Structure 1
Amino acid sequence: MAGRLRPIDGTAPIALAAVAGAVLAGLALRTVLPEATLLLLFTVAVLVAAVLSGVMAGLFAAILGFLAFNFVFVEPRFTLVVAEGRDMLALALLLFAGLLTGSLAGRLKEEAEAARRRAAVLEALAAFSNRLGRAGGPDDVMAAMADTLAGSLEGSALVLARRGQGLTTVASVPAAIRPDPEDEAAAERVIRLGAEAPRPAAGWPGARFEFRPFETGSERLAVGFAGPAGRPLAEEGSRVAAAVLAQAAGTLDRLHSEAAAAEARATAERERFRAALVSSISHDLRTPLASILGAVTSLRELGDRMPPPARDELLEAIEAETRRLARFVANLLDMTRIEAGLEPRREPVDLADLAASVVHRARRSFPGGDFRLILPPSGVPLVAADPALLEQVLFNLIENAVKFSPPAAPIAVELAARPEGVEMAVADRGPGIPAADRERVFEPFRVSPGTAGSGTGLGLAVCRGIVTALGGTIVAGEAPGGGARLSVTLPVEGAAP
């Protein structure tokens, strides 16, 4: 209750003004109103003071009104002497009514103010909770905590951390506020001992803030806060501060758990990637190297005794396996560039010319393949791309189609203008890609069900990485008549990204 009865700024002036108004009104109406009615003017003055400034103003106005009425209106006037007993009774009733009215009206005002403050605090805590839900890291939590403490306590707040030999302000509201030496000494004790540092009593030297320890998981911080105009906090303010700190601590625990889980997933993914890489490289290097070694050994041992057709066949096998190794190494290098953050150069590219060149290369690399280039009669716009990387994307898509298509089955390379850009698609007559796997086929070392053999599964991953770096999209779908259709859409040259 003591906290409620504490005088607040403006108590005396408001009480004086209210009673002075009652005196002036009484003097103006003294000739037309009976004395009993004049008493009501002072009761109204007490009500006004209590409503405007609280209990203390109402009580002060009641005492002032008692003295003023006695001094101005009770005979003998302009003295505090009371000549008649009935006047004494009237004054006593005025004082009692004034004290009671002022106390009740003031309490109602203060209860309303307390309810308003509680509603504002609840609203601030709800907003704080929403802000914590969007926090991406400890810095966001610290800033939100300082904002909420300062706003809900109608004062100021700051968060201090030890950095090197001194203290650093992590967050503060108002932004310009900085700790003075007494504040820093209190914060140092909090960080070192982990105990609260309450503010000194009014009139005693010391820190301006009440400091509490706050654990982030990696360090201990000192959170300082103060009420309006730097005044110490009442019990309710301390509870609000404790609730804010508890919410922030819970959010940091959640962020740490999420970070630990993400790190665990990343570690598991790296281990899977490494195991898949070792397995795939051992297969994709050993198989062509064994073929090359066997062909070279046969050529060396048989020499001129080998018939020319057989010798040509072995040389073609060596060439084919060497090309296969070169493509594998190129994919590995491209994957490394993508993982390191590929920054392709962009220039206007004619997809029709590029597709014709890649189809010609595919016919040389895969003799006997039925490759068909389908172009729209009106042509397609230029795209903004890196031509060398785009050739690699298209060749990887064709090589993927060859891998899954029956021998001599047609493989179509189609170009088309779309509202979102230019589409370049490769369609085959293979088994197709199940709907559930159409996104996963672009992951590194992911091999589609039904694949004969293993293989690295790098080709489509490289395609997605390059296309994404070029600002395009790549999707897997079903080809008309069966099979898979992999399509790349690239932005038109000059279009806004």
Structure 2
Amino acid sequence: ASPKELAVQRTLVEDLGGSFHHVIGEDITAALLEFARGVNATQIVLGVSRRKGWQYVFGPGVSATVASESGPDLDVHLVTHDEVGKGRGLSSAPRATRIDRNRIVWGWLVGMVGPVLLTLLLRGAAPSLGLANDMLLFLTLTVAAALLGGMLPALASAAFGSLLLNYFFTPPVHHILIANPKNIVALVIFIAVAVSVASVVDLAARRTHQAARLRAESEILSHLAGSVLRGENSLESLLETVRETFAMESVALLERESDISPWTCTAGVGARPHAGRPEDADVDMPVGDYMSLALSGRVLPAEDRRVLAAFAAQAAVVLDRQRLQSQAAEARTLAEGNRIRTALLAAVSHDLRTPLAGIKASVSSLRSDDIEWSDEDQAELLEAIEAGADRLDHLVGNLLDMSRLQTDTVQPMVREIDLDEVVPLALEGMATPAEHVVLDIPEELPMVAADKGLLERAVANVIENALKYSPAGERVLVAASTMADQVQLRVVDRGPGVPDDAKDRIFEPFQRYGDAPRGAGVGLGLAVARGFTESMGGTLSAEDTPGGGLTMVLALRMVPGRPQTKPDLPAAVTS
């Protein structure tokens, strides 16, 4: 290869993470195997070109030699050119006998050489066998030529054999003459039998070829029908199947909007798919008035267009299905957006107005000149304002987080962190007093791969949800442990629990299970928590608490390298 081509190969190999080597040696096979064993290779992939039969006279070739000498420690994979395994097109209609080439060669040898050898044998070993027996022996050779090679070798054998019979065995001998009329009838029958047998063989070959072609067509159409029923074909894979089946260079699906609109290529495969008028391609298969399948590479025979028409119709169906699926996806997106907007308006109508009303009432009371508030009353009003502002901040934060999740703009910065650092921080930012939470976070836990800010927000939302549904006087347990290659954080409450069929629905936006009190939030806490957890590669699921209640399990990937042993008696720390 040229240095430029080698430079391109080197760049490609290095971009794929491989290493490029020049190997020098007198013998290609020996140098290749020696290098492979030197780098402890287990696989060798060789590109090979197809060889003519006569080329094997000069040796089996590098690929076959490498495969035979590789031994048990190396697996050799031989890869030929791009067309290997591809379709060569459906067989063309039989215009003549479709018999194997080797059989035709043997037919000609038996039909032309056989009569000469038989003549020498009969003249030397059995000169007085009789004309009838001589003709039967020559007829046997002609029938054999017909069975092997078909019509042409049989006719040639019959003509050549009749001449030899006339010249050497029919009186007058050594003359192309027939004295006895009976011998003329025998020769005519001889030729007629030869032609009949050859015709039968030729007809059988035609029928065999037609059966093979029809079987190929039926298999293609059966596969096509199955893909239609399963709905599994993409447009590109279908066009690639067309290209491989008919051995084309490229296939394109062309479309236009009206009779005067230009044609555009909707989809194409292969080298330089046709993008102009369909009639300018090698093969044009219309699909309706404004769609056509254009094939480039060769002109197809008329009998192939029947199968091509089925492919073209399927291509139109697949294109329509893809467009319908796209429209359905857009409709689902719009419907989901409408649902979220409706739920948001319903939530804003009360959950956001309630704290605003409390803040406004407290501020109006403080600004009133008619009443003189004591220091305790002012402190209580200010506390109500602060609580309402915190609640608004929490609700607005959850709304913003959910919008980030639904627009795929959350980009977590995953690094190694300790749970015993994150969970206390999550408790500090909560409005609920921390004495209602019991922590059991062993210091010996392995580190986890997570985003500290997202994990803190997710943990806070899960704990707040547990506190919201916990009975008065019951505390929420937050415990961590290892499980396989994960670290699991369990938030356990003793609330009413959730049925199994509703465990997944509680993680959907704007869902508040059961008889949650008005003003208990807009139902985004668990949805945001699960979204943040999954964006970090973790999971958040719900399961029943033994004895009643709900347990949220937040699982994150463990970072190896730290001890995973827990103390024998972990002490429960109350915050």
Length-normalised TM-score, structure 1: 0.80
Q: What whole-Å deviation, never above 9, does each CA across 1:22-67 have from its counterpart, x for those lacking one?
A: 33442343334641212211111111112xxxxxxx2x23322221
**Please, which moves more after superposition, 105-114 or 156-165?**
156-165
CA distance in 1, matches of 2:314, 2:175: 62
Describe the shift of the 1:339–1:184 C-alpha distance in structure 2 as closer, same or farther (beyond 3 A). Answer: closer
Kindly state the Cα deviation for residue 5 of structure 1 after the two structures are TM-superposed.
Answer: 4.8
SS at match of 1:305: coil
Question: Are 1:101 and 2:183 matched, yes or no?
Answer: no
Q: Choose from 283, 292, 297 the match for 1:221.
A: 292
Q: Show the counterpart of 1:470.
A: 536
- 1:105-184 to structure 2, matched below 5 A, reads 105-129=201-225, 133=230, 135=232, 137-148=234-245, 150=246, 158-161=251-254, 170-172=267-269, 175-176=270-271
How far does the alpha carbon of each residue in 1:267-293 deviate from its partner, in whole angstroms, 9 at most, with x for none? 222211111112212323211111100
| C-alpha distance in structure 1 between counterparts of 2:433 and 2:381, whole Å | 16
Q: Is 1:486 equivalent to 2:552 in the alignment?
A: yes
Corresponding residue of 1:233: 302
Quote how far apart the aligned CAs of 1:480 are. 2.4
Counterpart residue number, 1:367: 433
Superposed CA RMSD in Å reads: 3.3
Quote the residue 2:459 is aligned against: 394
Q: CA 1:3 to 1:392, structure 2 compared with 1: closer, same or farther past 3 Å?
A: closer
In the other structure, the counterpart of 1:323 is: 390
* Mapped contact 1:161–1:170 kept (Cα < 8 A): yes
Aligned to 2:444, the other structure's residue is in SS state coil
* Higher mean displacement: 248-257 or 157-166: 157-166
User: 101, 119, 123: which is aligned to 1:27?
Assistant: 119
Residues 175-254 of structure 1: pairs in structure 2 closer than 5 A: 175-176=270-271, 186-187=278-279, 208-209=282-283, 211-214=284-287, 220-224=291-295, 230=299, 232-234=301-303, 237-254=304-321
Q: Which moved more, 1:389-398 or 1:340-349?
A: 340-349
C-alpha displacement of 1:250: 3.4
Structure 1, gaps ≥5 residues long:
51-57, 189-206
Deviates more, 1:261-270 or 1:430-439: 261-270
Give the C-alpha shift of residue 347 in structure 1. Answer: 1.2
**Paired residue for 2:489, among 411, 417, 424?**
424
1:432-447 aligned at under 5 Å gives the runs: 432-447=497-512
Please tell me whether residue 449 in structure 1 is matched to residue 522 in structure 2.
Answer: no
Q: Percent identity?
A: 29
CA contact under 8 A between 2:398 and 2:525: conserved in structure 1? yes
Post-superposition CA distance 1:450-489 (Å, at most 9, x none): 2222632111111111111100001011122211111110
SS in 2 for 1:481: coil
Residue 184 to residue 357, structure 1, CA distance change in 2 (3 Å): closer
Cα separation, partners in 2 of 1:77 and 1:289, compared to 1, 3 Å: farther
Contact 1:71 1:79 in 2 (8 A): no
Counterpart selection for 2:161 from 60, 66, 69: 69
Q: What residue in structure 1 maps to residue 139 of structure 2?
A: 39
Whole-angstrom CA distance in 1 between matches of 2:500 and 2:273: 60
Mapped to 2, the partners of 1:396 and 1:324 lie a distance apart of: 13
Match of 2:413 in 1: 345
Amino acid of the residue matched to residue 223 of structure 1?
Answer: A
Q: Tell me by how many angstroms 1:16 deviates.
A: 4.1
Output the CA distance in 2 between the equivalents of 1:155 and 1:21. 43
In structure 2, list runs of 5 or more residues that go unmatched: 1-91, 127-132, 562-575
Q: Between 396-405 and 104-113, report the one with greater CA deviation.
A: 104-113
1:195 aligned residue: none
Distance change (3 Å), C-alpha of 1:487 and 1:85? same
- Asked if structure 2 preserves the Cα contact closer than 8 Å seen for 1:359 and 1:373, the reply is no
Instruction: Verify: 1:355 aligned to 2:423, yes or no.
Output: yes
Higher helix share: 1
- Does the CA-based 8 Å contact 1:131-1:144 persist in structure 2? no
Assess, with a 3 A threshold, how the Cα gap between structure 1 residues 25 and 339 changes in structure 2: closer, same or farther.
farther
Q: Distance in 2 between matches of 1:484 and 1:222?
A: 59
Hey, what's the Cα distance between the residues in 1 that align with 2:346 and 2:308? Answer: 57
Task: Decide which moves more: 134-143 or 60-69.
Answer: 134-143
2:248–2:295 CA contact under 8 A, matched in 1: no
Q: 1:414 to 1:434 in 2, by over 3 A?
A: same
Counterpart for residue 375 of structure 2 = 308
Q: 1:279 to 1:361 in 2, by over 3 A?
A: same
Structure 1 residue 336, shift from structure 2 partner: 2.0
Using structure 2 for the length normalisation, give the TM-score.
Answer: 0.70
SS at match of 1:394: helix
- Over 3 Å counting, the alpha-carbon distance change for 1:379 and 1:294 in structure 2 is same
Deviates more, 1:107-116 or 1:13-22: 13-22
Please give the secondary structure, in 2, of the residue aligned with 1:48.
Answer: helix
1:88 aligned onto 2:157: no
**SS of alignment partner, residue 474 of structure 1:** strand
1:335 lines up with 2:335 in the alignment: no
Render the CA deviation track for 1:164-184: whole Å, top value 9, x for unaligned.
977659435xx44866xxx96
Give the aligned residue type for 1:63: L
Partners in 1 of 2:149 and 2:174 — Cα distance? 24
In structure 2, C-alpha distance between the alignment counterparts of 1:283 and 1:472, rounded to whole Å: 33
Letter in 2 for 1:97: V
Q: 1:320, 1:457 → 2: CA distance?
A: 19
Question: C-alpha displacement at 1:12, in angstroms?
Answer: 8.4
Task: Say which is worse superposed, 103-112 or 348-357, in terms of deviation.
Answer: 103-112
CA contact (8 A) 2:235 2:267 kept: no
Q: Is the 8 A contact 1:476 1:485 kept in 2?
A: yes
* Paired AA for residue 423 in structure 1: Q
Looking at structure 2, the residues matched to 471 and 294 of structure 1 have their Cα atoms a distance apart, in angstroms, of 45
User: Among residues 522, 527, 543, which one is paired with 1:461 in the alignment?
Assistant: 527
The 3-state SS of whatever aligns with 2:287 is: strand
Residue in 2 that maps onto 1:203: none
Match of 1:404 in 2: 469
Cα separation, partners in 2 of 1:82 and 1:185, compared to 1, 3 Å: farther
AA of the residue aligned to 1:30: L
CA contact (8 A) 1:292 1:317 kept: yes
Matches within 5 A, 1:256-295: 256-295=323-362
